[in-house]
Amino acid sequence: MCLDCGCAPKDHHHHHDHDHRHEHGKGKTLTIEEDLLGKNNRLAAANRARFAAHRLLVLNLVSSPGSGKTSILERTLSDLKNALRFAVLEGDQQTANDAERIAATGVPAHQINTGAGCHLDAHMVGHGVDHFDLAACDILMIENVGNLVCPAGFDLGEDHKVAVLSITEGEDKPLKYPQMFQAADLLLINKLDLLPHLRFDLEKCREFARRVNPRLEIIELSCENGEGMERWYAWLREQVGKKKNQKP
Amino acid sequence: MHEVAITRSIIDICEETARRRGATTVRGVTVEIGELSGVVPEAGEFCFEACGKGTVLEGAALVIQRIPGRGRCNACGEEFPMDNQTFTCPACGDFPPRRVSGEELRVKEMEID
Protein backbone atom coordinates (compact mmCIF):
# COMPACT_ATOMS: atom_id res chain seq x y z
CA MET A 1 0.00 0.00 0.00
CA CYS A 2 1.54 3.24 -1.07
CA LEU A 3 -0.96 5.95 -1.85
CA ASP A 4 1.44 8.86 -1.72
CA CYS A 5 4.54 7.65 -3.43
CA GLY A 6 3.01 5.25 -5.92
CA CYS A 7 6.10 3.08 -5.75
CA ALA A 8 4.01 0.08 -6.84
CA PRO A 9 2.80 -0.91 -9.27
CA LYS A 10 3.35 2.16 -11.41
CA ASP A 11 4.65 5.61 -10.88
CA HIS A 12 2.11 8.41 -11.26
CA HIS A 13 3.48 11.88 -10.79
CA HIS A 14 2.48 14.75 -12.96
CA HIS A 15 4.67 16.73 -15.27
CA HIS A 16 3.99 19.86 -17.18
CA ASP A 17 5.64 19.43 -20.51
CA HIS A 18 4.19 22.38 -22.35
CA ASP A 19 4.05 21.49 -25.94
CA HIS A 20 6.80 23.78 -27.19
CA ARG A 21 8.25 22.03 -30.15
CA HIS A 22 11.51 23.17 -31.58
CA GLU A 23 13.18 21.29 -34.33
CA HIS A 24 16.74 20.27 -33.45
CA GLY A 25 17.97 18.04 -36.19
CA LYS A 26 15.37 15.34 -36.55
CA GLY A 27 14.20 15.25 -32.96
CA LYS A 28 11.75 17.51 -31.23
CA THR A 29 12.39 19.33 -28.01
CA LEU A 30 9.97 19.16 -25.11
CA THR A 31 10.11 21.81 -22.42
CA ILE A 32 9.89 20.08 -19.03
CA GLU A 33 11.02 22.48 -16.27
CA GLU A 34 10.61 19.92 -13.51
CA ASP A 35 12.48 20.18 -10.22
CA LEU A 36 14.78 17.24 -9.58
CA LEU A 37 13.90 17.26 -5.91
CA GLY A 38 10.22 17.67 -6.75
CA LYS A 39 9.28 14.06 -6.13
CA ASN A 40 11.12 13.97 -2.80
CA ASN A 41 9.50 17.27 -1.82
CA ARG A 42 6.02 15.96 -2.64
CA LEU A 43 6.62 12.83 -0.55
CA ALA A 44 8.05 14.93 2.28
CA ALA A 45 4.89 17.07 2.23
CA ALA A 46 2.79 13.90 2.47
CA ASN A 47 4.89 12.71 5.43
CA ARG A 48 4.53 16.11 7.08
CA ALA A 49 0.73 16.01 6.73
CA ARG A 50 0.67 12.52 8.21
CA PHE A 51 2.85 13.57 11.16
CA ALA A 52 0.75 16.70 11.73
CA ALA A 53 -2.42 14.61 11.96
CA HIS A 54 -0.86 12.93 15.01
CA ARG A 55 0.69 16.19 16.35
CA LEU A 56 3.95 14.32 16.25
CA LEU A 57 7.23 16.19 16.69
CA VAL A 58 9.70 14.92 14.10
CA LEU A 59 13.43 15.60 14.29
CA ASN A 60 16.00 14.76 11.64
CA LEU A 61 19.40 14.23 13.27
CA VAL A 62 22.29 14.96 10.95
CA SER A 63 26.07 14.90 11.47
CA SER A 64 29.34 13.35 10.38
CA PRO A 65 29.81 9.67 11.23
CA GLY A 66 30.93 9.22 14.82
CA SER A 67 29.67 12.50 16.27
CA GLY A 68 27.60 10.64 18.86
CA LYS A 69 24.07 10.81 17.42
CA THR A 70 23.18 7.31 18.57
CA SER A 71 24.78 7.81 21.99
CA ILE A 72 22.86 11.05 22.49
CA LEU A 73 19.68 9.22 21.54
CA GLU A 74 20.40 6.32 23.91
CA ARG A 75 20.87 8.61 26.87
CA THR A 76 17.91 10.80 25.92
CA LEU A 77 15.59 7.82 25.58
CA SER A 78 16.74 6.29 28.85
CA ASP A 79 16.20 9.59 30.68
CA LEU A 80 12.92 10.66 29.06
CA LYS A 81 11.13 7.52 27.97
CA ASN A 82 8.83 7.58 30.98
CA ALA A 83 7.84 11.19 30.31
CA LEU A 84 7.60 11.21 26.49
CA ARG A 85 6.69 8.54 23.96
CA PHE A 86 9.42 8.08 21.35
CA ALA A 87 9.94 6.16 18.13
CA VAL A 88 13.28 6.05 16.34
CA LEU A 89 14.10 5.51 12.67
CA GLU A 90 17.75 4.65 12.16
CA GLY A 91 19.46 5.29 8.84
CA ASP A 92 22.75 3.64 7.94
CA GLN A 93 24.24 2.23 4.80
CA GLN A 94 24.65 -1.19 6.41
CA THR A 95 23.94 -3.13 9.64
CA ALA A 96 21.10 -2.95 12.14
CA ASN A 97 23.52 -2.15 14.98
CA ASP A 98 22.06 1.25 15.80
CA ALA A 99 18.43 0.09 15.79
CA GLU A 100 19.49 -2.73 18.14
CA ARG A 101 21.14 -0.23 20.48
CA ILE A 102 17.98 1.88 20.49
CA ALA A 103 15.67 -1.11 20.90
CA ALA A 104 17.69 -2.09 23.98
CA THR A 105 16.35 1.06 25.68
CA GLY A 106 12.83 -0.32 25.20
CA VAL A 107 11.83 2.33 22.64
CA PRO A 108 10.36 1.20 19.27
CA ALA A 109 13.09 1.37 16.62
CA HIS A 110 13.33 0.51 12.97
CA GLN A 111 16.47 0.35 10.85
CA ILE A 112 16.60 1.61 7.28
CA ASN A 113 19.62 0.44 5.30
CA THR A 114 20.34 2.70 2.36
CA GLY A 115 22.91 0.36 0.76
CA ALA A 116 24.93 2.58 -1.55
CA GLY A 117 22.75 5.58 -0.69
CA CYS A 118 24.34 8.39 1.27
CA HIS A 119 21.18 9.86 2.81
CA LEU A 120 17.63 9.08 3.81
CA ASP A 121 14.89 10.36 1.53
CA ALA A 122 11.21 11.05 2.09
CA HIS A 123 10.17 7.81 0.40
CA MET A 124 12.23 5.63 2.77
CA VAL A 125 10.90 7.52 5.78
CA GLY A 126 7.30 7.23 4.58
CA HIS A 127 7.65 3.46 4.55
CA GLY A 128 9.85 3.33 7.64
CA VAL A 129 7.18 4.90 9.86
CA ASP A 130 4.69 2.21 8.82
CA HIS A 131 6.47 0.15 11.48
CA PHE A 132 5.22 2.43 14.26
CA ASP A 133 1.90 3.30 15.81
CA LEU A 134 2.23 7.05 15.28
CA ALA A 135 -0.88 7.74 17.34
CA ALA A 136 1.03 6.39 20.33
CA CYS A 137 4.09 8.65 19.86
CA ASP A 138 5.05 12.19 20.88
CA ILE A 139 8.42 12.35 19.15
CA LEU A 140 9.83 10.63 16.10
CA MET A 141 13.60 10.79 15.96
CA ILE A 142 15.11 10.12 12.55
CA GLU A 143 18.83 9.45 12.72
CA ASN A 144 20.13 10.18 9.26
CA VAL A 145 23.13 8.54 7.61
CA GLY A 146 26.34 10.03 9.01
CA ASN A 147 27.23 12.51 6.29
CA LEU A 148 27.52 16.29 6.42
CA VAL A 149 26.81 16.80 2.74
CA CYS A 150 23.97 14.90 1.11
CA PRO A 151 21.23 14.79 3.78
CA ALA A 152 21.04 18.62 3.72
CA GLY A 153 19.08 18.68 0.47
CA PHE A 154 16.53 15.99 1.21
CA ASP A 155 13.47 17.05 3.16
CA LEU A 156 11.99 14.11 5.06
CA GLY A 157 8.92 15.92 6.37
CA GLU A 158 10.59 16.75 9.70
CA ASP A 159 9.89 19.77 11.87
CA HIS A 160 13.56 20.49 12.50
CA LYS A 161 16.94 19.30 11.43
CA VAL A 162 19.17 18.94 14.48
CA ALA A 163 22.86 18.99 13.59
CA VAL A 164 25.35 17.28 15.91
CA LEU A 165 28.99 18.35 15.89
CA SER A 166 31.47 16.72 18.23
CA ILE A 167 34.44 18.70 19.42
CA THR A 168 36.89 16.11 18.11
CA GLU A 169 35.92 17.22 14.61
CA GLY A 170 37.31 20.76 14.70
CA GLU A 171 35.55 24.08 15.18
CA ASP A 172 35.48 25.06 11.51
CA LYS A 173 33.03 22.34 10.39
CA PRO A 174 30.20 24.88 9.95
CA LEU A 175 32.33 26.85 7.48
CA LYS A 176 33.41 23.71 5.63
CA TYR A 177 29.91 22.26 5.33
CA PRO A 178 27.72 25.36 5.40
CA GLN A 179 24.66 23.84 3.74
CA MET A 180 24.05 21.42 6.58
CA PHE A 181 24.39 24.08 9.27
CA GLN A 182 22.16 26.45 7.28
CA ALA A 183 19.48 23.76 7.05
CA ALA A 184 19.53 23.04 10.81
CA ASP A 185 17.52 24.82 13.51
CA LEU A 186 19.47 23.43 16.46
CA LEU A 187 23.11 22.53 16.84
CA LEU A 188 24.23 20.12 19.55
CA ILE A 189 27.96 20.40 20.26
CA ASN A 190 28.78 17.01 21.76
CA LYS A 191 31.65 15.38 23.67
CA LEU A 192 32.11 18.41 25.91
CA ASP A 193 33.80 16.11 28.47
CA LEU A 194 36.82 15.91 26.13
CA LEU A 195 37.38 19.67 26.08
CA PRO A 196 40.37 19.61 28.49
CA HIS A 197 42.18 17.17 26.20
CA LEU A 198 41.68 18.97 22.90
CA ARG A 199 42.55 22.22 21.22
CA PHE A 200 38.98 23.14 20.41
CA ASP A 201 37.83 26.74 20.57
CA LEU A 202 34.18 26.57 21.63
CA GLU A 203 33.62 30.29 21.21
CA LYS A 204 35.00 30.21 17.68
CA CYS A 205 32.82 27.22 16.84
CA ARG A 206 29.71 29.11 17.98
CA GLU A 207 30.80 32.16 16.00
CA PHE A 208 31.37 30.11 12.80
CA ALA A 209 28.03 28.36 13.19
CA ARG A 210 26.18 31.66 13.67
CA ARG A 211 28.00 33.27 10.76
CA VAL A 212 26.60 30.52 8.54
CA ASN A 213 23.18 30.55 10.21
CA PRO A 214 22.40 33.45 12.59
CA ARG A 215 19.13 31.91 13.84
CA LEU A 216 20.79 28.60 14.84
CA GLU A 217 20.20 27.61 18.46
CA ILE A 218 23.24 26.00 20.07
CA ILE A 219 23.45 23.63 23.02
CA GLU A 220 26.76 22.25 24.27
CA LEU A 221 26.55 18.89 25.97
CA SER A 222 28.19 15.60 26.78
CA CYS A 223 26.11 12.45 26.55
CA GLU A 224 29.01 10.77 28.40
CA ASN A 225 28.89 12.74 31.68
CA GLY A 226 25.44 14.28 31.18
CA GLU A 227 26.58 17.90 31.19
CA GLY A 228 24.17 20.10 29.22
CA MET A 229 21.67 17.30 28.63
CA GLU A 230 19.00 19.12 30.67
CA ARG A 231 19.06 22.03 28.21
CA TRP A 232 18.49 19.62 25.35
CA TYR A 233 15.65 17.96 27.23
CA ALA A 234 14.10 21.36 27.95
CA TRP A 235 14.28 22.16 24.24
CA LEU A 236 12.59 18.84 23.42
CA ARG A 237 9.81 19.40 25.96
CA GLU A 238 9.24 22.90 24.64
CA GLN A 239 8.97 21.66 21.04
CA VAL A 240 6.60 18.85 22.02
CA GLY A 241 4.48 21.39 23.91
CA LYS A 242 4.31 23.66 20.84
CA LYS A 243 3.35 20.70 18.70
CA LYS A 244 0.54 19.59 20.96
CA ASN A 245 -0.94 23.07 20.82
CA GLN A 246 -0.84 23.18 17.04
CA LYS A 247 -3.97 22.46 15.07
CA PRO A 248 -3.54 19.20 13.21
CA MET B 1 27.22 10.72 -3.93
CA HIS B 2 23.71 12.13 -3.78
CA GLU B 3 24.35 12.72 -7.48
CA VAL B 4 23.11 9.13 -7.94
CA ALA B 5 19.74 10.06 -6.44
CA ILE B 6 19.64 13.27 -8.46
CA THR B 7 20.48 11.37 -11.63
CA ARG B 8 17.78 8.80 -10.94
CA SER B 9 15.23 11.56 -10.73
CA ILE B 10 16.44 12.94 -14.09
CA ILE B 11 15.89 9.48 -15.54
CA ASP B 12 12.47 9.08 -13.85
CA ILE B 13 11.25 12.39 -15.22
CA CYS B 14 12.54 11.65 -18.72
CA GLU B 15 11.17 8.11 -18.78
CA GLU B 16 7.76 9.27 -17.63
CA THR B 17 7.69 12.04 -20.22
CA ALA B 18 8.93 9.73 -22.98
CA ARG B 19 6.32 7.12 -22.08
CA ARG B 20 3.48 9.61 -22.22
CA ARG B 21 4.72 10.99 -25.53
CA GLY B 22 5.25 7.53 -26.97
CA ALA B 23 8.93 8.22 -27.57
CA THR B 24 11.29 5.26 -27.56
CA THR B 25 14.52 7.18 -27.92
CA VAL B 26 15.71 10.25 -26.11
CA ARG B 27 18.43 12.09 -27.98
CA GLY B 28 19.37 14.48 -25.27
CA VAL B 29 18.35 16.09 -22.04
CA THR B 30 19.17 19.55 -20.72
CA VAL B 31 19.49 19.99 -16.99
CA GLU B 32 20.00 23.17 -14.98
CA ILE B 33 22.29 22.85 -11.98
CA GLY B 34 22.82 25.89 -9.81
CA GLU B 35 26.27 26.58 -8.41
CA LEU B 36 24.85 26.66 -4.86
CA SER B 37 22.86 23.42 -5.22
CA GLY B 38 25.57 21.16 -3.81
CA VAL B 39 25.52 18.97 -6.89
CA VAL B 40 28.81 18.46 -8.70
CA PRO B 41 28.25 18.47 -12.49
CA GLU B 42 31.14 16.10 -13.20
CA ALA B 43 29.71 13.54 -10.79
CA GLY B 44 26.32 14.02 -12.44
CA GLU B 45 27.79 13.25 -15.85
CA PHE B 46 29.44 10.13 -14.51
CA CYS B 47 26.22 8.91 -12.89
CA PHE B 48 24.18 9.74 -15.96
CA GLU B 49 26.17 7.37 -18.09
CA ALA B 50 26.08 4.61 -15.48
CA CYS B 51 22.42 4.97 -14.44
CA GLY B 52 21.13 5.56 -17.97
CA LYS B 53 22.11 2.08 -19.20
CA GLY B 54 19.07 0.04 -20.16
CA THR B 55 16.73 3.05 -20.01
CA VAL B 56 15.38 5.33 -22.75
CA LEU B 57 18.29 7.59 -21.90
CA GLU B 58 20.99 5.14 -22.90
CA GLY B 59 23.24 6.98 -25.33
CA ALA B 60 21.45 10.31 -24.85
CA ALA B 61 23.50 13.48 -24.62
CA LEU B 62 23.45 15.26 -21.28
CA VAL B 63 23.72 19.02 -21.43
CA ILE B 64 24.33 20.68 -18.07
CA GLN B 65 23.65 24.39 -17.79
CA ARG B 66 25.27 25.96 -14.75
CA ILE B 67 23.38 28.75 -13.07
CA PRO B 68 25.62 31.19 -11.20
CA GLY B 69 24.93 31.91 -7.55
CA ARG B 70 23.57 35.36 -6.78
CA GLY B 71 22.60 36.87 -3.47
CA ARG B 72 20.71 39.94 -2.30
CA CYS B 73 21.33 41.71 0.97
CA ASN B 74 18.31 41.91 3.27
CA ALA B 75 19.62 45.13 4.80
CA CYS B 76 20.91 47.30 1.93
CA GLY B 77 19.44 45.53 -1.09
CA GLU B 78 22.80 45.09 -2.82
CA GLU B 79 22.90 42.21 -5.35
CA PHE B 80 26.12 40.32 -5.83
CA PRO B 81 27.61 37.04 -7.05
CA MET B 82 27.85 34.46 -4.29
CA ASP B 83 29.31 31.03 -3.68
CA ASN B 84 28.93 28.58 -0.79
CA GLN B 85 31.41 30.62 1.24
CA THR B 86 29.57 33.93 0.91
CA PHE B 87 28.04 34.56 4.31
CA THR B 88 27.96 38.36 4.43
CA CYS B 89 27.00 41.24 2.14
CA PRO B 90 30.15 42.62 0.44
CA ALA B 91 28.69 46.15 0.60
CA CYS B 92 27.49 46.51 4.19
CA GLY B 93 28.54 43.31 5.98
CA ASP B 94 25.00 42.26 6.97
CA PHE B 95 24.36 38.52 7.11
CA PRO B 96 23.09 36.19 5.87
CA PRO B 97 22.23 37.30 2.34
CA ARG B 98 19.19 35.85 0.60
CA ARG B 99 19.94 33.52 -2.29
CA VAL B 100 18.21 34.71 -5.41
CA SER B 101 19.64 32.17 -7.82
CA GLY B 102 22.02 29.24 -7.90
CA GLU B 103 20.00 26.62 -6.04
CA GLU B 104 18.27 25.30 -9.16
CA LEU B 105 18.12 21.57 -9.87
CA ARG B 106 15.81 21.16 -12.81
CA VAL B 107 15.23 19.13 -15.95
CA LYS B 108 14.77 21.92 -18.46
CA GLU B 109 14.01 20.09 -21.68
CA MET B 110 14.59 16.92 -23.60
CA GLU B 111 14.87 16.02 -27.23
CA ILE B 112 13.04 12.96 -28.48
CA ASP B 113 12.62 11.30 -31.83
pLDDT score for B43: 86
Say yes or no for a CB contact (<8 Å) between B96 and A213: yes
The total of other beta-carbon atoms located within 10 Å of residue A46's CB is 17
Q: Minimal CA–CA distance to A37: which of B95, B107, B92?
A: B107
| Sequential DSSP letters for chain A | --TTT--SS-------------EETTEEEEEEEEETTHHHHHHHHHHHHHHHHTT-EEEEEEESTTSSHHHHHHHHHHHHTTTS-EEEEEEESS-SHHHHHHHTTTS-EEEEE-TT-SS--HHHHHHHGGGS-GGG-SEEEEE--S-SSGGGG---S-SEEEEEEEGGG-TTHHHHSHHHHHH-SEEEEE-GGGGGGS---HHHHHHHHHHH-TT-EEEE--TTT-TTHHHHHHHHHHHHHHHHHS--
> Which chain B residues are Cβ-neighbours of A25 within 8 angstroms?
27, 111
Average of pLDDT values for A124-134? 97
Say yes or no for a CB contact (<8 Å) between A39 and B12: yes
> Of residues A168 and B4, which shows the higher confidence score?
A168
Say yes or no for a CB contact (<8 Å) between B84 and A116: no
Residue B3 pLDDT level (bands cut at 50, 70, 90): confident
Contact status, residue B97 vs residue B89, Cβ threshold 8 Å: yes
| pLDDT > 70: percent of chain A | 89
pLDDT score for A10: 37
Residues of A with CB under 8 A from a CB of B: 11, 13, 15, 17, 24-40, 116-119, 121, 149-150, 152-154, 175, 178-179, 182, 211-214
Say yes or no for a CB contact (<8 Å) between B27 and A27: yes
Q: Nearest Cβ partner of A152 from B1, B21, B38? A: B38
B48, B65, B107: which to substitute to probe chain A, counting the most A Cβ within 10 Å? B107
Condensed to tens digits (0 to 9), the pLDDT of residues B42-71 reads 888 888 988 999 999 999 999 999 999 999
CA distance B79 to chain A (A): 19
Res A2 pLDDT > 70? no
> Which chain B residues are Cβ-neighbours of A32 within 8 angstroms?
13, 17, 107-110
Quote the pTM value: 0.89
Condensed to tens digits (0 to 9), the pLDDT of residues A35-94 reads 999 999 999 999 999 999 999 999 999 999 999 999 999 999 999 999 999 999 999 999
